[in-house]
Amino acid sequence: MFKIQIKSKSFQTPDNTMNHVLQNLEFNIKEHDFISIIGPSGCGKTTILRILAGFDNDFDGSLLYSPNSDNNYEKFDSLGKIGYIPQEFSLFPWLTIEKNIRFGLNIKNIPKKEQDETVDRLLDLVGMKEYRKHLPKEISGGMKQKIAICRALAINPMSNLIVMDEPFSALDAQTRNALQQDLLDIWRKQKLTIVFVTHNIDEATFLSKRVLVLTKLPAKIIKEFNIEIPHPRSRTNLEFNKIRKDLLSYLN
Amino acid sequence: MINQNQAKTQKINQSKSSIKSKNRKISTILNFAYFLLSIIVFIVFWYLLVFILQLFYKGVRVVPFPHETFKSFFYLLIYKIDGYTLWNHVGGSLLRVLIGLFYAFIVAVPIGILIALNRHLDRIIKPIIELLRPIPPIAWIPFAIITFGLSTVSHAFIIFIGAFFPLVQNTYDGVRQSTKVYQDVARSLGASKPQIAIEIILPSTFPNIITGLRIAIGVGWMCVIAAEMMGISGAGIGYFINYMKNIGHYSNMMAGMIMIALVGLLINGIFLLIEKYLLKWKLGE
């Protein structure tokens, strides 16, 4: 189990004034959780993910981890230990699909045989075995994001935790809906723990077990929703629409 | 029924591929026809220019006709003048370009990477580069002659100067533009700073380095010809053109110019091949 405690996080602007972004923000991430973070544009959602992924250590607070989920937390450095999927298409364009997935495994000096098994298993998971020798420019946007998930999973992240920063925002509505379903399948099969940033209320309601709603700057959590509708969820379901309306009212 | 449908689909596919191959053939023939037409237009224009200039200079012919130039060109490829064929001259010039380019490459690329990655080095070195960059490489020729004498080092220095700035600037831009998101993802996968430099920044900068090299070789080629024309050496294509102008052998002079154009085409072709094979991931992105 993870715990994120951010007392405050500020940025220095080019004219040397301090921009206070996050304030008194704390939440837990349980095993096999699916948390979405929503909030107004520029409220610091991505900053939370960057802190969680270990890119940004310049904040007042700490990242905590409880190996046995028994509330005995210890500080930990998450960089290189949890999966990260950014907003833009991020596959390295000069590497084939297969080599993209191998990247982290090579960095960690994983033996070739083990790498082969991992690549096969992950390509099989997303049904893209025949694309292994393709270059990223030769596959669609949706496929790129699936491979980005495979690449993040290849390094065997701590507690299967993956953080995703609006990963489907560059896709058309149809592809986005299909990928949301695919993501849920992978989440269930691989017992993943996901922290998902989105500005799309419908997406957050469709995917998440919990939704954290942030305020404007300096952002803090104003409401935490537990969504108990079982997966697969129907967008026409009454309860689904009620949650969506509630989320919208908090955002407004 | 299914077999009938399969046969139909097969037939449609066959006719589709035969149409495609026919279209490809037509497009190749058309391309070749346009190429021929462009050469014919060029030669006709050349003849016209010679006739007009002849009228202008009252019957004195300054510029040789195309057929005279091509005759000299093929003659010079086989027979030596003052101990050198046209091959020897162009080979000598190309070698000088490659030597200068080699030194420019091994100095400019690391400097470009270093100043792009280190803010302090950037602030110290970039102003020096910006100060020296506007000086045309040809303006360095007198400096090269008084410093290194009439030697290969002078040539190498001029070409080095010409090639250094486009290489350093393109490498710098490439590293700066190297998408931050790739570096973030590599960090999240456990890559260290040196690993990010080698595995992410270098390959993503590679297209810019190739562009820099392409510009550098063009500038280097210009520099070597200018340096040879200014008398740094007693051989080379620039020296040859200037010498033939001085002795009034204009068809040989023009043959030298044709050789420069052909070498330019060759260099361009080599770069197209490099892009096709090494930058396959970038083409048509």
Q: Identify which has the larger pLDDT, B82 or A146.
A: A146
Disruptive mutation site among A96, A107, A155, A161 for chain B (greatest number of B CBs within 10 Å) = A107
Does B49 share its domain with B108?
A: no
State which of B19, B47, B63 marks the end of a domain.
B63
- What per-residue confidence (pLDDT) applies to B6? 60
Residues of chain A with Cβ-Cβ distance to B190 below 8 Å are: 80-81, 104, 107-108, 155
Q: How many domains does the structure of chain A reveal?
A: 1
Q: Identify which has the larger pLDDT, B223 or B1.
A: B223
Does B251 share its domain with B148?
A: yes
The domain in which residue A240 lies consists of 39-45+80-251
- Considering the domain boundaries, does residue A52 fall inside one? no
Residues of chain B with Cβ-Cβ distance to A104 below 8 Å are: 189-190
- Considering the domain boundaries, does residue B285 fall inside one? no
Does B33 share its domain with B128?
A: no
- What per-residue confidence (pLDDT) applies to A150? 94
For residue A83, the chain B residue with the least C-alpha distance is: B188
Residue ranges in A89-237 assigned as alpha helix (H): 97-107, 112-125, 141-154, 173-189, 201-207
- What per-residue confidence (pLDDT) applies to B235? 81
Cβ distance of A94 and B204 shorter than 8 Å: yes
Mean pLDDT, all residues of chain B = 87
Q: What are the pLDDT digits (tens) for A139-159? A: 999 999 999 999 999 998 888
- Considering the domain boundaries, does residue A13 fall inside one? no
Residues of chain A with Cβ-Cβ distance to B275 below 8 Å are: none
Task: Quickly state the pLDDT bin for B276 (edges 50, 70, 90).
Answer: confident
- Nearest neighbour of B190 by CB, restricted to A94, A137, A155: A155
Does B230 share its domain with B125?
A: yes
CA angle at A152 for the pair A230 and A118, rounded to the nearest 5°: 100
- Considering the domain boundaries, does residue A27 fall inside one? no
Cβ distance of B185 and A86 shorter than 8 Å: yes
Distance between CA atoms of residues A5 and A7, nearest Å: 6
- Considering the domain boundaries, does residue B42 fall inside one? yes
Please check the confidence at residue B62 and state whether its pLDDT lies above 80: no
- Considering the domain boundaries, does residue A3 fall inside one? no
Q: How many domains does the structure of chain B reveal?
A: 2
Q: Classify residue B5 by burial, with Cβ atoms within 10 Å: 0-12, 13-18, 19+.
A: exposed
Does B56 share its domain with B73?
A: no
Distance between CA atoms of residues B222 and B166, nearest Å: 14
Contacts of B221 (CB under 8 A, 6+ apart): B93, B97, B260, B263, B264, B267
Please check the confidence at residue B4 and state whether its pLDDT lies above 70: no
B74's enclosing H/E stretch is: helix B66-78
Cβ distance of B182 and A151 shorter than 8 Å: no
Residues of chain B with Cβ-Cβ distance to A57 below 8 Å are: none
- Considering the domain boundaries, does residue A191 fall inside one? yes
Cβ distance of B281 and A94 shorter than 8 Å: yes
Does B100 share its domain with B215?
A: yes
Does B197 share its domain with B81?
A: yes
Please check the confidence at residue B41 and state whether its pLDDT lies above 90: yes
Task: Quickly state the pLDDT bin for B257 (edges 50, 70, 90).
Answer: very high
Q: How many residues are there in chain B?
A: 285
User: What does pTM read for this prediction?
Assistant: 0.79
State which of B63, B98, B115 marks the end of a domain.
B63
Coil, helix or strand at residue A18: strand
- What per-residue confidence (pLDDT) applies to A208? 93
CA angle at B213 for the pair B211 and B215, rounded to the nearest 5°: 70
Does B76 share its domain with B98?
A: yes
Please check the confidence at residue B229 and state whether its pLDDT lies above 70: yes
- Considering the domain boundaries, does residue B283 fall inside one? no
Stretch B253-259: mean pLDDT? 93
CA angle at A130 for the pair A149 and B201, rounded to the nearest 5°: 50
What is the predicted ipTM?
Answer: 0.91
Coil, helix or strand at residue A140: coil
- What per-residue confidence (pLDDT) applies to B13? 67
| Percent of chain A scoring above 90 in pLDDT | 48
Given a cut of 50, the residues of chain A with pLDDT beneath it are: none
- What per-residue confidence (pLDDT) applies to A186? 92
The domain in which residue B177 lies consists of 66-278
Q: What are the pLDDT digits (tens) for B124-172? A: 999 999 999 999 988 898 898 899 888 878 888 999 999 999 999 999 9
Residue A229 sits in a domain whose CATH number is 3.40.50.300
Q: What are the pLDDT digits (tens) for A3-24? A: 888 888 888 777 777 788 888 8
For residue A104, the chain B residue with the least C-alpha distance is: B189
- Contact, A118 vs A105, CB < 8 A? yes
Does B129 share its domain with B229?
A: yes
Give the C-alpha distances (Å, rounded to integers) separating B213 from B101, B139, B207. 8, 21, 10
Query: What is the distance in angstroms between the Cα of B196 and the nearest Cα belonging to chain A?
Result: 10
Task: Quickly state the pLDDT bin for B87 (edges 50, 70, 90).
Answer: very high
- Nearest neighbour of A90 by CB, restricted to B182, B195, B284: B182
- Considering the domain boundaries, does residue A26 fall inside one? no
Does B2 share its domain with B126?
A: no
Cβ distance of B281 and A155 shorter than 8 Å: no
- Contact, A244 vs A47, CB < 8 A? no
Distance between CA atoms of residues B142 and B232, nearest Å: 10
Does B99 share its domain with B197?
A: yes
- Considering the domain boundaries, does residue B184 fall inside one? yes
- Nearest neighbour of A137 by CB, restricted to B179, B184, B281: B281
Cβ distance of A93 and B281 shorter than 8 Å: yes
Query: What is the distance in angstroms between the Cα of A150 and the nearest Cα belonging to chain B?
Result: 12
Residue B112 sits in a domain whose CATH number is 1.10.3720.10
Cβ distance of A104 and B280 shorter than 8 Å: no
- Considering the domain boundaries, does residue B183 fall inside one? yes
Chain B residues whose C-beta is within 8 A of a chain A C-beta are: 179, 181-182, 184-191, 195, 199-200, 203-204, 206, 280-282, 284-285
- What per-residue confidence (pLDDT) applies to A6? 85
State which of B42, B63, B84 marks the end of a domain.
B63
Does B151 share its domain with B92?
A: yes
Q: Identify which has the larger pLDDT, B16 or B244.
A: B244
Task: Quickly state the pLDDT bin for B57 (edges 50, 70, 90).
Answer: confident
Stretch B243-262: mean pLDDT? 91
